[in-house]
């Protein structure tokens, strides 16, 4: 089947924060429909929709209580069908979020499984406790704390790697796999273009032995990328996905390059692409919450590893779990617009399918909250509790939470300078950033040099250019804040030079400018603060190659 998804740009929507049409403060499906033209004008051909299924919202929809219905706060199934067809009319496919590691505890399967004699008992992972009222093993979850919850009704514990309202399904039970196949067919038959598969590499628990010591996700060696998960992915592909023109991108937790290769190797027939986290953790210790210094040299190393290691990458800098990239790797102060464009330059000159997260295309920043009580994310509260138990002082705690909280990405999209940022006429479920008066879609739409218009240019540049899509990635140079790499296809070559710093810098090389975040039309080797430039290689009238940039760009002292 054709690999159309390699040609496309994907736009991720987190529905509750996207656009509210009935002023209840929560984004909805009619809101998405009302913005389809904006998404089309950006040049995206796919929308990945974070969950809109029925859910009690213990984890904002990642706890599903019915996979075949739409939660009333988002609209109706008719709205959903309308969205699919309205998107289709604009050449856009909708991709659903497939959250199948766990369900909500309010899902009927789980409710039935609380009865020991029910055929649904084995849909989940139930175990008796250890003597002395201790849980069945020492595992800890992604949201911290034990993964076991005791259920008085049947006198046993059930496993939950995330929130206790997100019980894990038992993938040793073939009936569960068959249920999932039916759910996938249900949505594919409605015309969706594929799935983003939530934490897909951890669905299969090989054993429930105690885990090696670590604070968060203790026990992961028993469920990360197990043979069982690979086998199930192959089966889902063979029995379901292969019969539709669709793609899958799998979120893969704590995966290394070899693991990601296995999951996305076309020969193996599992996933089409994987999301990994390495490139966003250059300035983090172990996981997101403990900061260390950002080094551009390290970033280029990580990019090179994945660009050369995988045949095809899922390229992303933001999603609903990550801080805003301009606040993370860029400068959300004086150089906000310029650094946001630099990050866009990087995103669209790497090899893979680019993903844009809502608001990224206008350079939205992290939230401006000043205390924990303004946050909604369950993870932030749990992390705070955890690090408090290690006696981390309040100020440092808040600093960590503030920079890494998932709510950074979840504040409402800033559409205009009207009250509620044009997102809602009511009280938003999570506070709007006060900078909406300066940073909003409408203002940027009307300004040629805006971040929004730069995104549009970069999407268009990639779309029209096979070298940027399919060219080989070659790292050229990294020093201090500057990195350079090129993309090569046959005789064609493009070089990207990025200055990740607020200081001027130099990088040798002159030549025709294909993209510039400061509106240059020629380049002489001197870089402004946060400057990004893409240089092209041209072929002259006689077919002779003109190399504007030496193959290895070297620093000029
Ligand atoms: O995220 C899983 C995941 O591993 C992390 O990114 C997660 O956010 C957690 O912070 C690890 O510290 C996926 C979803 O994207 C996330 O929104 C859900 O909360 C989670 O799965 C459970 O479904
Ligand atoms: Ca609403």
Instruction: For ligand 1, atom 4, name the residue with the nearest CA.
Output: 253
Distance between CA atoms of residues 56 and 321, nearest Å: 19
Q: Note whether 108-159 and 467-553 share their fold.
A: no
The closest-lying atom of ligand 1 relative to the alpha carbon of residue 288 is: 12
Q: Is the CB of 253 under 6 A from ligand 1?
A: yes
Instruction: Please answer whether residues 141 and 217 qualify as being in contact, where contact means their C-beta atoms are separated by less than 8 angstroms.
Output: yes
Indicate if the pLDDT at residue 471 is higher than 60: yes
296 Cα: distance to centroid of ligand 1 (angstroms): 26
Task: Calculate mean pLDDT across residues 134-154.
Answer: 96
Burial letters 427-448, b for 16+ CB under 10 A, else e? ebbbbbbebbeebbbbbbbeee
- The finding on whether 270 has its CB within 6 A of some atom of ligand 1 is no
Question: What three-state secondary structure class fits 93?
Answer: strand
Residue 320 CA to ligand 1 centre (angstroms): 9
What are the residues whose beta carbon lies below 5 Å from ligand 2 (ion)? Answer: 20, 22, 24, 26, 28
| Model pLDDT, residue 543 | 47
pLDDT the model gives residue 48: 98
Domain ranges of the chain: 4-102+174-457, 108-159, 467-553
Residue 420 has pLDDT above 90, yes or no: yes
Percent of the chain having pLDDT more than 90? 90
pLDDT at 229 > cutoff 80: yes
Q: Please work out whether the CB of residue 142 comes within 6 Å of at least one atom of ligand 1.
A: yes
Q: Is the pLDDT score of 557 beyond 50?
A: no
For helices 336-348 and 451-463, the axis angle rounded to 10 degrees is 10
Q: Tell me what pLDDT residue 555 has.
A: 44
What value does the mean pLDDT take over residues 494-508? 93
- Residue 313: pLDDT over 70: yes
Q: Judge whether residue 296 has pLDDT over 50.
A: yes
User: Contact 346/304 with Cβ under 8 angstroms?
Assistant: no
Close Cβ partners of 314 (under 8 Å, ≥ 6 residues apart): 249, 273, 274, 275, 352, 353, 355
Please tell me the predicted confidence (pLDDT) of residue 458: 97
Q: Is 3.20.20.80 the CATH classification of the domain at 4-102+174-457?
A: yes
What integer best gives the mean pLDDT of the chain? Answer: 94
305-337 burial: b if 16+ Cβ within 10 Å, else e: ebbeebebbbbbbbbbbbbbbbbbbbbbeebbb
In angstroms, the CA 493 to CA 136 distance is 57
> 372 CB contacts (<8 Å, ≥6 apart)?
380, 381, 384, 398, 401
Pocket test for ligand 1, best of 14, 105, 142 (most atoms within 8 A of CB): 142
Task: Name which residue sits closest to atom 12 of ligand 1, judged by CA.
Answer: 142
* SS3 state at 493: strand
Consecutive H or E run containing 80: helix 77-89
**H or E element in which residue 467 lies:** helix 466-470
CATH number for the 467-553 domain, one of 2.40.50.200, 2.60.40.1180, 2.40.160.20, 3.30.465.10?
2.60.40.1180
Ligand 1 pocket residue status of 407, Cβ below 6 Å: no
> Pocket of ligand 1, candidates 48, 58, 62: which has the most ligand atoms within 8 Å of its Cβ, to mutate?
62
> Is the CATH number of domain 108-159 3.90.400.10?
yes
pLDDT band at 556 (very low <50, low <70, confident <90, very high): very low
pLDDT at 545 over 50: no
Is the distance from CB of 76 to CB of 70 less than 8 angstroms? yes
* 262-292 core/surface letters (b: 16 or more CB in 10 A; e: else): bbbeeeeebbbbbbbbebbebbbeeebbeee
Task: Return the ligand 1 atom nearest residue 162 CA.
Answer: 22
- Decide if 304 contacts 473 (C-beta within 8 A): yes
Per-residue pLDDT, averaged over 46-62, amounts to 98
Give 366-384 pLDDT, tens digit per residue: 999 999 999 999 999 999 9
Residue that has been written with the tokens 């669209």 in this structure = 348
pLDDT band for position 70 (cuts 50, 70, 90)? very high
User: Which runs of consecutive H residues, i.e. helices, occur in 240-329?
Assistant: 257-264, 296-309, 325-328
The finding on whether 168 has its CB within 6 A of some atom of ligand 1 is no
Concerning whether 251 is annotated as a catalytic residue, the answer is: yes
Higher pLDDT, 457 or 510: 457
Q: How far away, in angstroms, is 321 Cα from ligand 1 center?
A: 7
pLDDT digits (tens, 9 = 90+) for 157-194: 999 999 999 999 999 999 999 999 999 999 999 999 99
Q: Which of 251, 272, 337, 384 is catalytic?
A: 251
pLDDT of residue 287: 67
């Amino acid at each position: 089947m054709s690999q159309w998804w390699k040609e496309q740009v994907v736009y991720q929507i987190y529905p509750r924060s996207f656009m509210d049409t009935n002023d209840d403060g929560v984004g909805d499906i009619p809101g998405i429909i009302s913005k389809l033209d904006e998404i089309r004008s950006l040049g995206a051909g796919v929308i990945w929709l974070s969950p809109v299924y029925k859910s009690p919202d213990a984890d904002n929809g990642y706890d599903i209580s019915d996979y075949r219905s739409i939660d009333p706060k988002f609209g109706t199934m008719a709205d959903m069908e309308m969205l699919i067809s309205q998107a289709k009319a604009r050449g856009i496919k909708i991709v659903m979020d497939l959250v199948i590691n766990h369900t909500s505890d309010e899902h009927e399967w789980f409710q039935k499984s609380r009865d020991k004699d029910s055929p649904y008992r084995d849909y989940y992972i139930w175990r008796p406790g250890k003597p002395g009222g201790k849980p069945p093993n020492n595992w800890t979850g992604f949201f911290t704390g034990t993964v076991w919850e005791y259920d008085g009704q049947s006198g046993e514990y059930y496993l939950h790697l995330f929130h206790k309202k997100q019980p894990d399904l038992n993938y040793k039970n073939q009936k569960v796999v068959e249920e999932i196949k039916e759910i996938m067919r249900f949505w594919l038959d409605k015309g969706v273009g594929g799935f983003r598969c939530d934490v897909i590499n951890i669905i299969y628990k090989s054993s429930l032995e105690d885990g090696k010591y670590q604070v968060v996700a203790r026990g992961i060696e028993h469920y990360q990328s197990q043979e069982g998960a690979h086998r199930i992915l192959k089966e889902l592909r063979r029995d379901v996905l292969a019969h539709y023109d669709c793609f899958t991108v799998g979120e893969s937790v704590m995966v290394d390059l070899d693991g990601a290769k296995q999951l996305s190797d076309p020969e193996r027939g599992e996933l089409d692409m994987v999301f990994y986290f390495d490139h966003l953790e250059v300035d983090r210790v172990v996981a997101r919450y403990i900061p260390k210094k950002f080094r551009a040299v390290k970033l280029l190393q990580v990019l090179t590893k994945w660009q050369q290691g995988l045949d095809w990458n899922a390229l992303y800098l933001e999603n609903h779990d990550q801080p805003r990239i301009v606040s993370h790797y860029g400068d959300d102060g004086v150089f906000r617009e310029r650094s946001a464009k630099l990050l866009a330059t990087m995103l669209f000159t790497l090899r893979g399918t680019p993903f844009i997260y809502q608001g990224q295309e206008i350079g939205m920043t992290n939230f401006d909250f000043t205390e924990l009580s303004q946050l909604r994310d369950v993870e932030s509260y749990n992390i705070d509790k955890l690090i408090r138990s290690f006696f981390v002082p309040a100020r440092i705690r808040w600093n960590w939470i503030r920079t890494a909280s998932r709510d950074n990405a979840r504040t409402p999209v800033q559409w205009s300078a009207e009250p509620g940022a044009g997102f809602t006429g009511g009280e938003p479920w999570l506070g709007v950033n006060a900078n909406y008066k300066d940073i909003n879609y409408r203002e940027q739409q009307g300004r040629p040099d805006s971040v929004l218009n730069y995104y549009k240019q970069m999407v268009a540049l990639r779309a029209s250019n096979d070298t940027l899509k399919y060219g080989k990635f070659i790292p050229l140079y990294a020093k201090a804040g500057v990195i350079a790499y090129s993309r090569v296809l046959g005789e064609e070559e493009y070089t990207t030079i990025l200055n990740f710093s607020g200081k001027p810098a130099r990088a040798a090389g002159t030549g025709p400018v294909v993209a510039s975040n400061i509106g240059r039309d020629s380049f002489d080797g001197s870089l402004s603060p946060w400057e990004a430039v893409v240089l092209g290689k041209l072929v002259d009238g006689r077919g002779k190659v003109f190399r504007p940039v030496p193959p290895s760009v070297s620093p000029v002292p």
